[in-house]
Amino acid sequence: MVFSSLPFIFCILPLFIFFDFVSFNRVNWRNIVLIVISLMFYTWGEQDYVILLIALAVLNYLFGAVIYRLNRRIADNQKSRASLIATISFITFNLLCLCYCKYLYFILYNISLLFPQLNLSPYPNHLPLGISFFTFHAISYLVDMYRGTIINKPKAQTFFTYFFMFPHLVAGPIVRYADLYNDIENRQRDRELFCYGVGRFLLGLNKKILIANTMAGVADIAFFMSPDVRTVSDAWIGAIAYTLQIYFDFSGYSDMAIGLAAMAGIKMKENFNAPYLSGSIKEFWRRWHISLSTWFRDYVYIPLGGSRCSKFKTYRNLLIVFVLCGFWHGAQWTFLAWGLVHGTLLVIERLGFDKILERLPHICSRCYCLLVLIVAWVLFRATSLTEAGTYIEQLFSFTNIKTDDYINIPVKTLTVVIMFVGIFISLHPLKIFSGGTPFDRKFTNVNLIVQSLLSIISIFILYIGARNPFIYFNF
């Protein structure tokens, strides 16, 4: 189930609001309601795999308790060897579960290609919804417990509320127990925060339905089109459409997740900050999917040595992080290539290209960043490296343009208007398209009215059965 669906909007969401309201502002009751509704939400989409989710939650709670007890035996502020071994073992367990569910088929399939004599016949497993996200939630919890970032002894109800909480359960943002446990344990009625949450949810719903879904249709046609039929114009329209689709799709989901959490009295940090305004790839990763980039920074990049080591090791660390980042998105060579491209560009910028970008007019650095992002998104969207190579080659086949080249993608006038609206919002963010953050709650009444009116159109589009995919539900 996705947030932008009629069953969620007219069934799960009203149930959640009603039972949360009648819990009489008792924190324990409200947390139990949130846990039950979250499990109902996950069961609706995954059925049997809810057992896996519950098992991982129980095991990681016990893992955290073990680490906490081992840490209490520390003398002279030195981490005990037993605590370190336990933490590494528990993290390895989570990663093995993730690898089995998400990467086993990919590994066996490629082995079968290299060694056909083994007669392997792998078949793809069903990918449990959101397993990449709740695996990262578990790992951050265990590492923070080991580091001492989580000071208090973990409470079962608080941890399960954090782990099961449906706003971030299946597609992020990647939130940390240390950031949320205080809100979870001290939830209070907050009318202003609830109204902010409603507005933020509607904002995300409209971004998803009105812009992302419209762009999805254009991108699908362009990428599924035969290269013999697809013109240079078609290729660029498709690439730009996908660039808009993935931004409004995922940022829209993040808006809805942050809004739902706010309705529950919990404040989540922002996940996007106008990424297409970036003047470099380094700046882009400070603005795009912030929860993922900071997770890799804190739990992979810095432990590898970060930038506090030799230049060669720093570049190595960057490449490792972004190869893992690409692989995290999916078990395909295209995702690995996408991560490698971003890592390589970051290394190039660190080698001195960033200084050149700083001296250029801002419009030039922004054009550079947008160009490489659009091309890199082709790798992300394509189903194979061959398809991606053909598409990218076609993007720059200007020498082969003929006088009879034209646009073969059937684009309606309304679609063109929505595309330009998406471009405008991406490059010129207005206050009316932003609700501030849950911490400042600057969602104005005018904004709420505008989003409410637009949501009527969005719900009508859902009612007539329009296609409604979520890109990051595949990860």
- Over residues 3-44, the pLDDT tens digits come to 888 888 999 999 999 998 888 778 888 999 999 999 998 888
Q: What pLDDT shows up at residue 118? A: 76
Nearest residue to 475 via CA among 257, 56, 174: 174
Segment 228-233 shows an average pLDDT of 87
Nearest residue to 432 via CA among 417, 421, 420, 444: 444
How far, in Å, are 96, 204, 243, 333, 464 from residue 435 at the CA level?
Answer: 39, 10, 23, 37, 29
Tokens 């590492």, located at residue: 143
Instruction: Look over the chain and give the mean of its residue pLDDT values, rounded to a whole number.
Output: 87
pTM for the model: 0.91
pLDDT at 368 over 80: yes
State which amino acid sits at residue 390. T
Segment 143-159 shows an average pLDDT of 89
pLDDT tens digits for 240-263? 999 999 999 999 999 999 999 999
**Which residues, including other chains, have CB under 8 Å from residue 410's CB and lie 6 or more apart?**
221
pLDDT tens digits for 385-407? 999 999 999 998 876 555 555 77
pLDDT tens digits for 75-132? 545 557 888 899 999 999 999 999 988 888 888 888 888 888 777 777 777 778 788 8
Q: What percent of the chain has pLDDT over 90?
A: 51
pLDDT tens digits for 450-463? 889 999 999 998 88
Per-residue tokens: 296 = 């890799």
Is the CB of residue 311 less than 8 Å from the CB of residue 347?
no
Q: What pLDDT shows up at residue 341? A: 95
174-183, 371-380, 432-441: which range is least confident on average? 432-441
Segment 268-296 shows an average pLDDT of 93
How far, in Å, are 19, 25, 242, 282, 432 from residue 353 at the CA level?
Answer: 55, 55, 27, 11, 36
More confident residue, 335 or 47: 335
Q: What pLDDT shows up at residue 145? A: 92
Q: What pLDDT shows up at residue 76? A: 44
The question of whether 329 is a catalytic residue gets the answer yes
Q: What pLDDT shows up at residue 208? A: 93
Give 418's pLDDT tier (boundaries 50, 70, 90): very high
pLDDT tens digits for 161-181? 999 998 888 777 899 999 998
Tokens 């963010």, located at residue: 429
State which amino acid sits at residue 299. Y
Is the CB of residue 323 less than 8 Å from the CB of residue 340?
yes
pLDDT at 216 over 70: yes
6-10, 291-295, 317-321, 427-431: which range is least confident on average? 427-431
Q: What pLDDT shows up at residue 227? A: 86
Q: How far apart are the first and last CA of the chain?
A: 15
Q: What does the alpha-carbon distance between residue 163 and residue 149 come to, in Å, rounded to a whole number?
A: 17
Q: What does the alpha-carbon distance between residue 383 and residue 387 come to, in Å, rounded to a whole number?
A: 7
Q: Given the residues 329, 342, 362, 428, select the one marked as catalytic.
A: 329
